[in-house]
Chain A
Amino acid sequence: MKVLVPVKRVIDFNVAVRVKADRSGVDLANVKMSINPFDEIAVEEAIRLKEKGKVTEIIAVSIGPAGATETIRTALAMGADRGILVKHEGEIEPLAVAKILKAVATEEQAGLVILGKQAIDDDCNQTGQMLAALLGWPQGTFAAKLEIGDGEIQVTREVDGGLQTLALKLPAIVTTDLRLNEPRYASLPNIMKARKKPIAEKSAGDYGVDPAPRLKVLEVTEPQKRRSGAKVGSATELVAHLRGVGVI
């Protein structure tokens, strides 16, 4: 079974985000970019399935600018087999991404697509569910554990009240939560090897998808700032303050 793992290039999770003065968006010039942390977990999970012999090939796909090649290389260095870069400059919404991924999954005859549950830039949490809808496949979102059985996959999901386990018919879509695994670091020899792995270059047009956004971003602003308040000397004093303002 082939697995498709979409990977997104995003601002590194440790970088402090700055809103542009003209309110058009967030300043991405000269900031560190990385693979979306949830996608890294998705790549790791695909590799573990391959190590267990459940999966034959792992294809990492990224939709983004030329720089997204690096993101694909990260996945290849971890252990993915080959990459596809669908080149696109500028904003692209989850629905258009899902349409491109549908075309790729169909062309590659993937039996499983593992995606991050959300990207830490737009925080949308949509692409996996949308892809499942477009393909007519079942979805196991927010996965904390996976087990591939006979013709189905069991997914334990992080839900509001705890954990829920579902069995999905294959082919299926899985989106990863934080506790699914801890991604490996790529070793130096594997980083070298990844340079020789193939990355095909495509465009949205190759898949017949119009990548134009449908929502119009009117502005991007800073959130309301909170100021730090007073330091208190002891827990007893703290309780007195909280009683004073009537909150306890």
Chain B
Amino acid sequence: MAALVIAEHSNAALDDATAKAVTAAIQISSPVHVLVAGSNCQGAADAAAKLSGVEKILVADDARYAHCLAEPMAELILSLAANYDAILAPATANGKNILPRVAAKLDVPQISEIIEVKSPDVFRRPIYAGNAIQTVEAKGFKKIITVRISAFAPVAMNGNAAVEKIAASADPGLSRFVGENLSRSERPELTSAKIIISGGRGLQSKENFALIERIADRLGAAVGASRAAVDAGFVPNDRQVGQTGKVVAPELYIAVGISGAIQHLAGMKDSKIIVAINKDEGAPIFTIADYGLVADLFEALPEFEKALGV
């Protein structure tokens, strides 16, 4: 029949996560349509039209979708569901929030965070913080899927999809946006960065994170963190990498003052090259690191920065 991908976007621009979810969708059903629901989201819709392999972009531009609230978003997706045999969303905070609501209303299970499409009915997904991989078959019902974006390459942006405006559907009026506190950063997004340098409890303070940030700026890298560093208030919550934070797979992941608990490894062990800097030779992070440096980070980081040269 067809697949529908729920776009992740900022109204003005399309998030890379969408292009990755489209890659998964193409392997499951065709044609592929993309739903851009937002408020003043023409920018995102125009960008979505360039997604290669996508036939049509559905645009629902209405104030009720400005903050991606689960209840009106689910209603909108449900109003379109009859036309599709698969509905996918990237496993972002939005995707994870909205899609199970859709699945339950359709009385079908959801397949969370797939990392591979083995066939249109068979998917692989991590369980137990990635310590086991489950292969599941979904046959005989509509497939509702979230896609782990670190596991799929994005489609090219050279397509030319038709753009169709659609009407907003009913807003159940159950919830209301009050405010937000988004952390602003000039650095790349964790989930799309090629290089990530992350700090843990070993950094000891918010101020010391400057040691990491300076190197990040030199490398054009994103800054990540362990849960311990976030809990201690060194960095905002959106920097957490791990089982319950962001899952990343950059070209290079540098873990500094992070012990390597399984919950942290769950979020970064698929990185291409892993570097660990830790003063404890026995830290578990070294068991998965391609390059390990046993050193005091307060000496190693300034030296690292210096070695990068001017």
Contacts and interface: CB of A to CB of B under 8 A. Distances in A.
Contacts of B246: 160
Contacts of B252: 242, 247-248
Contacts of A35: none
Interface string A107-148: 000000000011011111111111111101111111010000
Nearest to A171: B174
B137 interface: yes
B159 interface: no
B133 interface: yes
Given A118-B244, A139-B97, A17 B132 contact: yes
A229 B129 contact: no
Nearest to A182: B231
B238 A129 contact: no
Interface string B125-136: 011111111111
A162 B183 contact: yes
A40 B303 CA distance: 43
Interface stretch (A47-55, A60-68, A90-98, A194-202): A90-98
Interface string A219-243: 1111100101111111110111110
Contacts of B67: 164
B180 A217 contact: no
A76 B96 CA distance: 30
Interface centre among A94, A133, A226, A236 (most CB of B within 10 A): A133
A151 interface: no
Interface string A152-189: 00100111111111111100100001110000000000
B273 A245 contact: yes
A56 to B, nearest CB: 23
Q: Which secondary structure dominates where chain A touches chain B?
A: mixed
A138 B75 CA distance: 12
B60 interface: no
A138 B71 contact: yes
Contacts of B107: 95
A242 B131 CA distance: 28
A179 B231 contact: yes
B310 interface: no
Nearest to A216: B137
Given A95-B109, A238-B291, A167 B129 contact: no
A215 interface: yes
A101 to B, nearest CB: 11
Given A125-B100, A216-B136, A232 B112 contact: no
A228 B230 contact: no
A158 B237 contact: yes
Contacts of A233: 293
A19 interface: yes
B11 interface: no
A230 B292 contact: yes
A154 to B, nearest CB: 6
Contacts, number: 263
A222 B133 contact: yes
Interface residues of A, number: 82
Interface string B162-197: 000000000011111111111100000001000100
A239 B305 CA distance: 9
B80 interface: no
Contacts of A221: 132-133, 135
Nearest to A128: B100
A215 B274 CA distance: 35
Given A177-B244, A235-B301, A245-B273, A26 B132 contact: yes
A215 B244 contact: no
Contact of B236 (A128, A131, A162, A165): A162
Interface in B239-284: 243-244, 246, 251-252, 262-263, 269, 272-275, 277
B243 A123 contact: yes
Contact of B180 (A16, A118, A139, A163): A163
B287 to A, nearest CB: 5
A58 interface: no
Nearest to B288: A226
29 contacts: A13-B263, A17-B129, A94-B100, A95-B110, A123-B126, A126-B100, A130-B100, A133-B101, A133-B105, A134-B104, A139-B70, A139-B71, A140-B175, A157-B93, A177-B244, A215-B137, A220-B133, A228-B286, A228-B287, A228-B288, A228-B292, A232-B291, A232-B293, A233-B293, A235-B303, A242-B252, A242-B291, A247-B195, A247-B251
Top-7 shortest CB links A-B: A138-B174, A129-B100, A130-B104, A229-B290, A133-B104, A235-B303, A239-B307
Interface of B: 67, 69-71, 74, 92-94, 96-105, 107-113, 122, 126-139, 141, 172-183, 191, 195, 219, 227, 230-231, 236-238, 243-244, 246, 251-252, 262-263, 269, 272-275, 277, 286-295, 299-301, 303-304, 306-308
Given A165-B179, A218-B136, A236-B303, 13 more contacts: A123-B129, A129-B104, A130-B104, A162-B238, A216-B136, A216-B138, A221-B132, A221-B133, A223-B269, A232-B293, A234-B303, A235-B300, A242-B275
